[in-house]
A and B are shown apart, each in its own frame.
Chain A
Amino acid sequence: MCGIVGLFCKTETHRHELGRLTAVMLREMRDRGPDSAGFASYDTGVPGRIRITVLAEGIEVDWGPVAAALEKVLDAEVTVRGVHDHAVFSTDGDGRAARQWIIDNVAGASVLSYGSQIELYKAVGDPDLVAERYDLGSRTGTHALAHTRMATESAVTTNGSHPFATGADTCLVHNGSLSNHNRLRRFLEGHGESFQTENDSEVAAGYLSWRMRSGDSISQALEGALEDLDGFYTFAIGVADGFAILRDPIACKPAVVAETDDWVAMSSEYRAIARLPGATHAEIWEPEPARIYTWSLAA
């Protein structure tokens, strides 16, 4: 069992309180997953400026020299700020190259996300404490995803926590389990994706990154996912300019969606939605199996 939530602000109205509302939703999903938690949020960022969120769990890393080395590799300015055991690099260089360089060269560090709009944090422990430590409540922006994990088959580790992001501004939270992830991981590695965990959900994120890097829209990538992913899933997906939901054709894993003029919210359970402003007047429905739902900021 896990809990997932997503909030997409269609209008400006609630963007100043995106993080606070996401934290409220996350709190309601605590008892679906008290082991660990994570969240990703999207803001408008600075045009051309890429942020790379890095986790160095249980080790001390002096980020300054890392940023200096990365500057030489990218041949571009790099700044960095630490947030507890996370660090956020900022550069106008190549984000994908920066991600790979950090994975290959900074021992013990994991790259959680990169892109011009996304930042991503995750940790073991009570979801409320995780939200507090990384200050989810003060984040502003257009959309956010969060996850609470109850580990049933693998250890409680930060690396097993969601969201997962392998491509630019693309991330995913997953309730379920995939059964063909090992073969798919090998396939994707042969097509230029790199993975940092043994987790099935990271493979799903990598799959979407690969499809979108090949020119697919999020809808096209998810059409492919319906064919190529085998297993149980309810996904909430964030991309630079949008938000998507997909459930497998059997749809055992719960999901509820609510929409108002101002926002779209998705959660494992309605009680996470019940506390959002205007929830009582929202249109509420259960997403259908194998149907792709997308919302775009451009629309």
Chain B
Amino acid sequence: MTRRFDLAETTRRALNQALHDASGGESFEVANPRGAHAVACGITADIDVVVRGSVGYYCAGMHQRGRVLVEGNASTGLAENIMSGEVRITGNATMSAAATGCGGLVVVGGNAGARCGISMKGIDIVVGGNVGHMSAFMAQAGNLVVCGDAAADLGDSIYEAQIFVRGDVESLGADCVEKEMRPEHTETLRSLLAAAAPATGGAEVSQFRRYGSARRLYNFNIDDVDALETERDAREAVR
């Protein structure tokens, strides 16, 4: 049975409380979000939530378990600090989508704005359209897949996250470089495209290029350069 909440009639707080009280297996449907902030935040149970309309800031923030689908657009900080589970939107996301995400999957059907995946820490993000400038800024771990184009300064100061872009990259940020697409990367990308369908619009693995850290910026010490090379080879080998 699906429980329905109409945000034109009930408060967002009542909705979120119901979502927090859920024990798992329930379905929820949310009508008339009208750009409200913090819709479906902090879900900890294995539930399904469908939001019919566009949401405001921090939708599905701190998401821990379950699936949230937004049929519309999302404003700043979609699924910020998501730990696991899934958050999908059919439309566009504005700034800082999936910022600081530690795990799980975020799928943006349309475009994502500036700083998508900023400081990502293990999350997988798939964007059907383009991403804005400084996406994956200081990205530490996880994967950002962009089926369209990436705006300026992609992956600036990136650590160990991986970026896959199908279209054009306006420019790469500091210490971000194009890297070889090896079989393990192909496999990662293939599974992410499959998980994000149909938002990927039929994108194929062979159309993507991979970007990542040149590892010249962080923990860099010229005296350690030989050790870094050895360490990098070792790390790449275990991937």
Residues of chain A having any CB pair with chain B under 8 Å: 28, 251-252, 254, 256, 269-275, 280, 284-286, 288-289
Contact = CB atoms under 8 A, between A and B. Distances in A.
A286 B108 CA distance: 14
B35 A271 contact: yes
11 contacts: A28-B35, A251-B95, A252-B95, A269-B35, A270-B75, A271-B35, A274-B34, A285-B111, A286-B95, A289-B114, A289-B133
A77 B56 CA distance: 51
Contacts of A272: 35
B94 A254 contact: yes
Contacts of B151: 288
A256 B56 CA distance: 11
A280 B76 CA distance: 19
Contacts of B92: 284-286
A270 B54 contact: yes
Nearest to B133: A289
Contacts of B35: 28, 269-274
Given A273-B35, A275-B34, A286-B94, A256 B114 contact: no
Counting contact residues on chain B (CB < 8 A from A), the size range is: 20 to 34
Nearest to B114: A251
B44 to A, nearest CB: 26
B84 interface: no
Contacts of B95: 251-252, 254, 286
Given A256-B75, A269-B35, A271-B35, A286 B113 contact: yes
B132 interface: yes
Contacts of A289: 114, 132-133
Q: Which of B95, B111, B151 has the most CB of A within 10 A?
A: B95
Q: Which of A251, A270, A274, A280 has the most CB of B within 10 A?
A: A270
Interface string B94-134: 11000000000000000101100000000000000000110
Contacts of A284: 54, 73, 91-92
A252 B35 CA distance: 19
Interface in B54-100: 54, 56-57, 73, 75-76, 91-92, 94-95
Nearest to A28: B35
Contact of A254 (B36, B54, B75, B111): B75
Given A252-B95, A270-B73, A286-B92, 20 more contacts: A251-B114, A254-B75, A254-B76, A254-B94, A256-B94, A269-B35, A269-B56, A269-B57, A270-B54, A270-B56, A271-B56, A272-B35, A274-B34, A275-B34, A284-B54, A284-B91, A286-B95, A286-B113, A289-B114, A289-B132
A225 B95 CA distance: 23
Contacts of A280: 53
Contacts of B34: 271, 274-275
Contacts of B56: 269-271
Contacts of B54: 270, 274, 284
B23 to A, nearest CB: 31
Q: Which of A252, A256, A280, A288 has the most CB of B within 10 A?
A: A256
Contacts of A251: 95, 114, 132-133
A249 B91 CA distance: 24
Nearest to B55: A270
B38 to A, nearest CB: 12
A282 to B, nearest CB: 10
Contacts of A28: 35
B36 A271 contact: yes
Contacts of A288: 132, 151
A28 B113 CA distance: 23
Contacts of B111: 285
Contacts of A285: 92, 111
